[in-house]
Structure 1
């Protein structure tokens, strides 16, 4: 009989241990080994003494059973662990060594176990029930934490589990069991569900929703979708139709009601009700407001497909320039209803050029929002640049031009992954010559415009980049002029002082270097033969008169010099004293 029971019982062996949930696996494995009468071989790790010289039949049988029991216990443990863990314990001799290794490896020391218990108790105290969670799911979660604590050897009383603030009916919390507590909470949950059958008006609800299909006069079940509820989850929509409700003024038909079987209660959207049911003339006189402006769902896909404009007097020049630069034709323009755009001349120009002219609704600049917003961005940037460097307002045009220059080289959502410059020209802009707007600068004065001892540089304020040459635009406050120069030295950490002289802005030990010469002397190399050849033609001047009188050319030169002195009356000859 025992032989028949054990093979059938072995079919319900514990699941294979893969390194997770050791405590639960250890409990299952202990009970399993006890049922097979093998736990003694794991717990005690007894030694099987050798048989005596002339063993009896009983001794031989006992020896074989004890030895077989140890082997079976070891085999059970080997079969109940994963192949990864098996490689770590396959060299261990006994079942007890295997059990102790697994306990030490996956349960840890006493200190580690206490830390695990502390973390589980903290998790138990902090767990909260979600709005979409049922009492059963919540209680299962709590019991899972409690069982983990108990498996680690820590007692967790039912009184602590049953500690709650209040119940609808009076309960003695000192004597209530966990099962009674869960049943009471589930009953309370069912009673609350029954109270939620009525329709509720929700001012924050964006759609009408109901869970009762019988309320529909007509319903379209082909509409399958999902709707987001208050806790952030999504529930299924099984249809859409019309529902009839009774109001103070009679029967009303509510359209576009969603059929949501999983919703707790019927919901009516107050904003939608106002649009569908309220037709009040006085309300329109007193409360009429503008409709919202939704974001555009269409975007241009290539150059000049749609151009937003707010300036008409230079549009002819703009059209010629952009079409010539891009090799594309201007398709559509969008502008406001200003007289500069709405006139016979401009209409004729667009008609002859084959340009579609779109107009915004009067007093609705939002429909031309791209142009309006870009103008605002440029002016805000211009204002900030002028105030940051304390520059006069009459430089607003220079600041605006520089702002446009910078915006065209900054990322924008309009062209994903590119700058406007790259989207237009097809290559990335060079940014190595960028300077801080409004910083102090010194422009080189060409030699033709200065005397030998004049200053070689003039101070100024950097106000932008030239659009016609590779140079900078420099404002010179001393004469009120703007010059274009490539030879400019910048002091980006300084700015023009309108109250102090420019010399006070510079350090006392400042030294100006001559721009005509390199800062570091260039040392070239020449072959010795070249040096020798040049030395043969070098001019040597005599050091004294005795050397000069030996050369006829020097004698002739001295005579000519004396004749010129006598002729000009430079000196008067007298006798030697």
Structure 2
């Protein structure tokens, strides 16, 4: 409508807002080239009038084009009846908008005129009714077409049962890899052979239904080129939109698809004749109960050969030669009894090792020390600050508790095992029942064997060159080295501190959960029978400061010194630090951390690790008077007793005696 006058301001504002929305919707619906038609208009109404004048002008040419499209409409291949009738109705609506009278009878005639050849029987049946007023009702035609479509679908399902499920006669020609059977119930051309396609389009979720109500996956579709034997003439043939169904046993040629293309198919005297007009373009021969398309084989001149010969011709390729060999035998009528199940050349050339199962081959140990895994890792590319280039691991199968010792040489493995065995036995009160290792020489010495026998420990060893059988220890080595590598890289610590990073990794690993043990449990729970404390954990390699002892500093000296955090002391509640200036390992409990920054590592000057304990002594204020010690203390002093308890007692007694005198 028109724009309201300025006197009606509120109504005018509302109209302008609605008009703007309508213009925006129309503009968004037009393509770029069509926007030129509405560029100079002001209102939505003018935009709509401009579009109507361009696309729906009631000119003679527009009416002729619409009529031609309406009366020549055809049902598309694979189109459903309802979709086709709705398309006809849309064309009729366009004509009605041009003031062309299209009644119900005209639409029914247009629908019948565009039906494919498979509906000819229905048209003949409608004509036999003789009641044109009833016949030429669109609703009546639509109902009959829907019934015919449903009947055809049911017939197709039952026919496909015989075409796809029943066994073919025992004839080698029917199983030819180029064999294509003419099927009057199939609604599409189908083949199982991927190599026949000249063009190919993969399909993701397509399927075809068989007569048993089962469905088969359609892998793709494309064009297939064949050479046909037409009464002795070799004629090329192109089949379009052929479905690739690998699970089918035969290739099927759809009779309904051929009739839709205007071909005529007839069956007489054991032959199927396919004609275009009066010209025969293809023939099929009755073989058993099926009509097989007469195709020229590309390899029909090949000499007869056994499956073993085909296997050898194709360079002993197993998976592909089996298929190609079978096809070659069918073409040349070879004897399937000549198949060799074992090719000695393939055994010599393709022998592989047996697959190692991913699952555990045995149950997890019920108690601690029932089974212990061990392995030696190394040599590493650099020595530790203690001079080690290897490390040996021990892991308890029940608790997953791990113990690691850095070693200088592999020959130290026996001494480290004795240390671990004694430590574990003292802690758990049990002896190691089974030790599982690889066949490294460090585990096969005479003294090692004698020690295991003396302690009743069974030694399980892997097969030669099969480290996978010692997978628990091997996986522990990999985990620890990964952790060491990550910690060194995080704070840019030099590689010489790998042993300290390794000790830190084992310390933390024993206090975290693992898939190898029950949920919400850690190795510390199962080995120590208590809950681990992780509140004291700090970032490896971070900067820190340790407090200096008072007796070593002056009044104005700094009270702390910078160091780098290395880990946790073994037998003391303290931290291990590295003093880069002194090149020493410092053990101290009074430490301040800056975990966001890396510490100063420096390069170790030697490979002998030294530890210095920072523990300020207790300085007692003593009297300047001359003290006389009692007789008991004189005795201890005369025999050179240095026990701290005696020193303390003597000092107390002496002080007490002096005060009494």
More strand by share: 2
TM-score between the two structures when normalised by the length of structure 2: 0.38
